[in-house]
Chains A and B, each alone.
Chain A
Amino acid sequence: QQPVQSPQAVILREGEDAVINCSSSKALYSVHWYRQKHGEAPVFLMILLKGGEQKGHEKISASFNEKKQQSSLYLTASQLSYSGTYFCGTYHNNNDMRFGAGTRLTVKP
């Protein structure tokens, strides 16, 4: 039930773009995205709901393909502050969220 994230890690220069993918083998009700910086708690970024509703950060965009059971997080014009580990979390029919293994993003000057 754990979603699969790709890539596992990515290194960018400031200003470059990145895409992080999340896929599930089961039908999804919603997909959540969180970012965790080293030694800190995960922080909410975005929720994508079945049916197209999105809630989240103005400067972050994401997509949710219900048929393919996939979501992608788009980070454009990356800044140093974007560095961290990104997790997607998925809900299916029950009320427990399962997280992917994470994507470590490093943004260099």
Chain B
Amino acid sequence: KAGVTQTPRYLIKTRGQQVTLSCSPISGHRSVSWYQQTPGQGLQFLFEYFSETQRNKGNFPGRFSGRQFSNSRSEMNVSTLELGDSALYLCASSHQGDRGEKLFFGSGTQLSVL
């Protein structure tokens, strides 16, 4: 069974640009969550999607948005990039997003904003 796939692996952008990251969950998983990871901050929750609907959202500005498609693949978009958006963005999937299910993480997209 293929794992969680995130593309691209690395991205370099400049301030003010926008970026779209992609996440393909494990086959059969309907819940996809996104996290921002920076040194010392751990994993900060961005949002969670289930069956194409955003169920939960973290404390990030509206520049961060996402969506999920009918095949459960998910994208997140960051508009008007700022230097502080430089981070590793991880997505994780699970069957139902239930609180007793383990998450499967992708390897992440390393975003650098110059």
Chain A contact residues, CB within 8 Å of chain B: 2, 29-30, 32, 34, 40-44, 47, 49, 53, 55, 87, 89, 91, 94-102
**Interface members, chain B 79-114 (any A CB < 8 Å):** 90, 92, 97-108
Q: What is the CB-to-nearest-CB distance from A41 to chain B, in angstroms, rounded to a whole number?
A: 4
0/1 per residue, B40-79, Cβ < 8 Å to A? 1111110110100001111000000000000000000000
Select which of B55, B57, B103 is within 8 A of A97 by beta carbon: B103
Chain B contact residues, CB within 8 Å of chain A: 4, 33, 35, 40-45, 47-48, 50, 55-58, 90, 92, 97-108
- The interface residues of chain B lying within 8 Å CB-to-CB of A30 are 99-100
Select which of B56, B90, B105, B107 is within 8 A of A96 by beta carbon: B56
Closest A residue to B55 by CB, please name it: A95
Contact in complex: A98, B41 (CB < 8 Å): no
Contact in complex: B45, A96 (CB < 8 Å): yes
A-B contact pairs, 8 of them (CB 8 A): A34-B103, A42-B90, A42-B105, A49-B100, A55-B102, A87-B43, A96-B48, A98-B45
- The interface residues of chain A lying within 8 Å CB-to-CB of B107 are 40-41
Q: Complex: how many Å from CA A83 to CA B94?
A: 26
Further contacts, 5 of them, CB under 8 A, given A29-B99, A101-B42: A44-B103, A47-B100, A53-B100, A89-B43, A96-B55
- The interface residues of chain A lying within 8 Å CB-to-CB of B42 are 2, 87, 99-102
Q: What is the CB-to-nearest-CB distance from B4 to chain A, in angstroms, rounded to a whole number?
A: 8
Q: What is the CB-to-nearest-CB distance from B57 to chain A, in angstroms, rounded to a whole number?
A: 8
Contact in complex: B103, A95 (CB < 8 Å): no
Contact in complex: A44, B104 (CB < 8 Å): yes
Contact in complex: B56, A32 (CB < 8 Å): no
Q: Complex: how many Å from CA A102 to CA B39?
A: 10
Q: What is the CB-to-nearest-CB distance from A44 to chain B, in angstroms, rounded to a whole number?
A: 4
